[in-house]
Structures are given as structure tokens and as C-alpha cells.
Amino acid sequence: MARRRSVVRRAGAGRRIPAGVVLGIVLVIGALALIIARVSNSGGSDAALQTGDDAAAVAGRVATGPARASESFFQRIGRMWNASDRIDQLERENRELQAWRDLAERLAERNARYEALLRMPPDAFGEGADVEHSIAAQLVLDSGGPFTRTLVANAGADHGVRVGFIAVNENGLVGRVVSVGHRSSRILMLDDYNSRIPVMGEASRVRAVLAGQATRPPELITHPYQIQSPRLDFIVGAQNLREGERVITSGDGGLFPRGIPVGVARRQGDGSWRVALSAAQRPIDFVRILPYMGVERPEGDPVESEGPPASSSSSVAAIGRETMAPPPRAAAPTPPPSTQTAAQTPRPRPAPPQTPAATPPSPAEPAPAAQTAPAPAEPQE
Amino acid sequence: MTSFFSAAPSRRTLRLWGLVLAVASVILPALPLGPLFAQPPMPLAVLWAAYGWAAEDESGWRAPVALALLGLLHDQLAGGPYGLFVLIYLSAYLIGRVAAVLMSAPNLLSLWGGFIATALLTVVIVTIVERVLLPIAVGPYAEAAAITALLFPFVRPLYMSGAPSAWSQGARR
């Protein structure tokens, strides 16, 4: 009897779920609830993350101090080791660069004359961004995880940083501020899986979307906006993109200012394009955070007598018209067929003061357009 | 001095080093120390801890709580969302519990196979989360999980002894 009772007890004990497993299941359910709360965009999760970023930023700065110091120390040691070789190499490069500088000065002077002839506005860095009031910050944390590619900088709302500001370093674009704490801000990097940025080739003016791939170099998707606009047939697309061409932000969409260097286009073996990021040439340590709030939404009550028709809101059509070299018939524009929509009608321009502006440039030269027209003229009715 | 180095470390010491390694694998990728410390290629050492603690700490509450805290810390340092790494680590713990019950006479190969299956199932869980809930990159996580699985035999003594109690329980059952 006693033996039977013990057997029963043992069998019952075997069926009982251990406390650790129960707790594990409960915590898994809690984790799922947290993820779902994040998906449903509850503000509490973001606020907690930003508060945690503030604390982690302080800890990260302290923790990386010795590493940074030792890194610079070993770099100095390494440079001393091969100092004479480096001097020889630098002298050689200096001689070559002097020749290149003479050539660049001549070309710059010539280019300036052409621009004066065409009355082109200067190709500004980050049009619309408040470069003078940029905020310098040091990066103290790197997400480094498999899912996201973000950085934490030690400047936050107390320093004037806001969500949407642009982070650049001395080489180019790093990313965009996506959350801000009091003393820290989190920057979504260009190679994050969720990063999509409108860019264009600096010389070819081919527009593309830069899509982050987490750990691999960002991929260029070269088909985007032109599909909807039949007037952009002059654009030949990705085949115009050149290997090694500089890629800059196009400003489309209004999230990024135009003209910030992003990287260099590289063609892959399978024909796809990727960008070697300029900002990744060396470890990113300090960043400048540029105030930029993008393009304001158009007001609900537009002025009817000014600006383009409401149906021509696609900036792509306008930009494409202005950026691409005009076809031969552009010298004597013919009225569009009546079946065209208002979006497809060309924006009228002021009469060029000089005849060379109307002549098409040589195909070998880059199209003169990346710059927007100085001011849109009154539409001809 | 010689005896200090030649003496085999106790189980407690090994477990402590295992915990240190797990915490380091959470913190080091967050520091701007270069691509070598990113994940991948750095292994997800907390997966080892989850698998090993599931085998050794059969009914305690410390392992799931420690894993949840490590997951929250990892979520915080990686930029969120909260709950993702908690889900992964606790899933690995629960899968490890099932593996501990299923294996009757474990050896190094079967333990390694069990860990590979655990890592694979966490990749499946991440894929489900990616499909259903969040736009996240599964590929880099799969790479990190694969590296973690490859390195498992080298770190196994830090997380599980030769004859863990859960294995023997599983064998009795």
C-alpha cells in the first residue's frame, strides 16, 4: 500500500510543470505584449527607450573612454613605426596632387564661366538645412545588434536636437535622428533595414532609392519615381549611372535636404547597384546634427492664382523636366496635345536672355540641371 | 601558484564566467569598438546561457528572470523594440527545457545538435515576428545564431556540466 502510494505521488510530481517553465511562459507572453505595444505605436515604449538611452549614453561615454584613449595611443605608436615610409608616400602624393590642383583650378574657372552663362544657382550642400546652427555630438553607443543599425549621440532635446534632424560627419551623411531624449538622441543609420532614402547620381542625375540592408552595403533601387511620369522618357535610367559616381541626397520627399554626399555607386556582379557609404570610410566618432524639418505640408487652402495646378503636385515631373537636358525639339517647344493632363504640361520658364542657354549641351557633358529653377514663372493660361 | 593554475575550476566559477560572457555579448556590441564587436560576427552568448541554464536549473526562477533582464538590456542597447530579445532568449530557454526532457543519454554531439535545433527554432520565431509584427532583418540574426551554434562545443563547460540534473531527470522519465 505504501509502495502504491509512493508511485502515485511520483507520477503526479512528474506531470507537474516546474515553476521556471511557468515563469518562462509568462515572461514570453509579456515580451509579446511589449512587441505588440510597440507595433501599435504606444508612446510609453518610446519614452522608456529614450530615458534608457540617456542613461546608457552616460555609461557608454564612460565605458568607451579608455578604449578611445588606447586606440589613439596605439595609432600614434603605429604611425611612428613607419614614419619615414609615410613621409615618402605623402611627398609622392603631394607632387601628384599639385598637378591635379592646377587642372582642377582651370576646370573650376571654366565651369564658373559656364555657370555664369547659364545663370545657374550654386550647387549647395544640404539645401534647406541650417548648417550654421548645427549641433556637434559624440557617438557613445552603437546598436551593433542584428536587427537595427542605430547610433546614440550625446546630444538631445536639451541641446536643441529634434526628431528629423540630419546627422552628418566630415565625409558625408550618417543618418537621421529618430528619437530624442533629454541628453541623447538615437540616429537611424543609412544601412538600417528600415532606411529608405531618395538619392541621385551627382553627375548623371539618375534618381534612386537607397535601401538599407542591415549589415551589407546599402542597395540602390533604380526604378522609382519616373514610372508614373510619361514625360520623363528622356531619362534612360540606371544605365546612365556610372561606376564610381558620387551619390548625393536628392531632397525628394522632404525628409533629407538636397546635395549631401552619401557615397559612391558600385556595380555588383549581378548587375545591382550598391553604395559605398562616405561616412563609413573610417569609424564614426563625432557627428554634426543639422537642423532640418523638411518641406512643410501644403496648406489646405491653396492660392489658385499662383503656382502650378493642383494636379501637378508631383515634384518628379517638374524636377525631371528641369534637370534633364532638353531634347532637340525643346528649342522650339510645341504645344502639348490636348489629351495630356495638367501634370504633364511643361512648366513655363522665363525667356532665356542668351541664346546659348537654349542649345542642348553635348551628351558627353553632364546635364546642367540638378539645380532647381530660380523661381517658377507664372503659368501660361 | 602552480596549484592555482592546475586546479580545475569549480562549477560555480564556470557558471560565473558563463554569465560574464553572456553579459559581455550584450554590452560589447553596443560600444563603438568597430565591426568586429558587432553581431554578427559576435555570437549571441545569451543563447548558450539559456540552453545551459534550462538543463541545469530545472525548477528555479532565477534563469528565466536573468534571461528576461538580459533581453531587456539587449533591447535597450540595440535600440528596441522592447521584448524582441526577451522573446528570443526565453524561447531558447523553453526549447532547452523540452530538449532536456527529450534527451535520455546526452553526449557532446547530442547536446550540440540540441543547441543547433534551439538556435534554428529561434530563427523561425524571429521570422514569424518579422512576418507578423515587425519589419526587422532576419538575415543578420540567422548569421549570428549560426556562429553561436558553431562555437557551442568550445563554451559548453561554462554553461552545463557533464552530468546535469535535468538530463538525469529526463533519463529517469
What is the average pLDDT value for chain B, to the nearest integer? 81
- Residue A273 is classified by DSSP as E
Q: What is the chain B residue with the closest CA to A57?
A: B77
Block mean pLDDT (10 aa), chain A, length 381: 42 63 86 82 68 75 70 73 86 92 92 83 66 82 77 86 87 87 86 82 83 65 34 45 84 82 82 80 81 69 58 42 41 40 38 39 38 37 32
User: What's residue A105's pLDDT?
Assistant: 93
Residue contact B29–A145, C-beta within 8 A? yes
Cis peptide before B81 (omega within 30 of 0): yes
User: What's residue B139's pLDDT?
Assistant: 83
Q: How large is the greatest C-alpha to C-alpha distance in chain A, in angstroms?
A: 114
Contacts 24+ apart (CB under 8 A), B27-30: B27/A63, B27/B73, B27/B77, B28/A144, B29/A142, B29/A143, B29/A144, B29/A145, B29/B77, B29/B78, B30/A56, B30/A60, B30/A141, B30/A142, B30/A143, B30/A144, B30/A145, B30/B77, B30/B78
User: What's residue A98's pLDDT?
Assistant: 92
Q: Please report the beta strands in B61-146, taking only residues with DSSP state E, as ranges in sequence order.
A: none
Q: Which residues contact residue A58 at a Cβ distance below 8 angstroms, ignoring those fewer than 6 apart?
A: A140, A183
Spatial separation of the C-alpha atoms in residues B134 and B137, rounded to whole Å:
9
Q: Name the most confidently modeled range: A124-128, A312-316, B3-7, B103-107.
A: B103-107
For an interface test with A, give the residue of B23, B31, B46 to mutate (most A CBs within 10 A): B31
Q: What is the chain A residue with the closest CA to B142?
A: A146
Which residues is A166 bridged to in the sheet? A176, A290
User: What's residue B171's pLDDT?
Assistant: 40
Residues of B within 8 A of A49 (CB-CB) are 76, 79-80, 82
In A, residues 186-205, which contact B (CB 8 Å cutoff)? 186, 193-194
Tell me what percent of the residues of chain B surpass a pLDDT of 70.
Answer: 86
- For residue A286, is it left (φ>0), alpha (ψ between -120 and 50) or beta? beta
Taking alpha carbons only, the member of A361, A92, A327 closest to residue A100 is A92
Helices of type H across chain A: 2-15, 19-39, 43-81, 83-118, 315-323
For an interface test with A, give the residue of B36, B58, B87, B95 to mutate (most A CBs within 10 A): B87
For an interface test with A, give the residue of B36, B42, B76, B95 to mutate (most A CBs within 10 A): B76
Spatial separation of the C-alpha atoms in residues B159 and B92, rounded to whole Å:
14
Which amino acid belongs to residue A281? Answer: Q
Q: What is the chain A residue with the closest CA to B101?
A: A14
Min distance A248 CA to chain B CA atoms (Å): 25
pTM of the model: 0.64
Q: Does B10 touch chain A (CB under 8 A)?
A: no
Q: How large is the greatest C-alpha to C-alpha distance in chain B, in angstroms?
A: 57
Choice among A41-45, A219-223, B123-127, B158-162 with the minimum mean pLDDT: A219-223
Domains and their CATH numbers in chain B? 11-172 (1.10.1760)
Cell (9 digits) for A84 = 619615414
* pLDDT band, very low/low/confident/very high, at B92 (cuts 50, 70, 90): very high
Q: Residue A36, SS3?
A: helix
Taking alpha carbons only, the member of B55, B43, B53 closest to residue B19 is B53
Q: What are φ and ψ of residue A369, in 5° steps?
A: -110, -20
Residue contact B79–A24, C-beta within 8 A? no
Condensed to tens digits (0 to 9), the pLDDT of residues B21-78 reads: 999 988 888 877 767 777 788 899 999 999 988 887 666 788 889 999 999 888 888 8
Give the residue carrying C-alpha cell 523661381: A375
Q: Residue B56, SS3?
A: helix
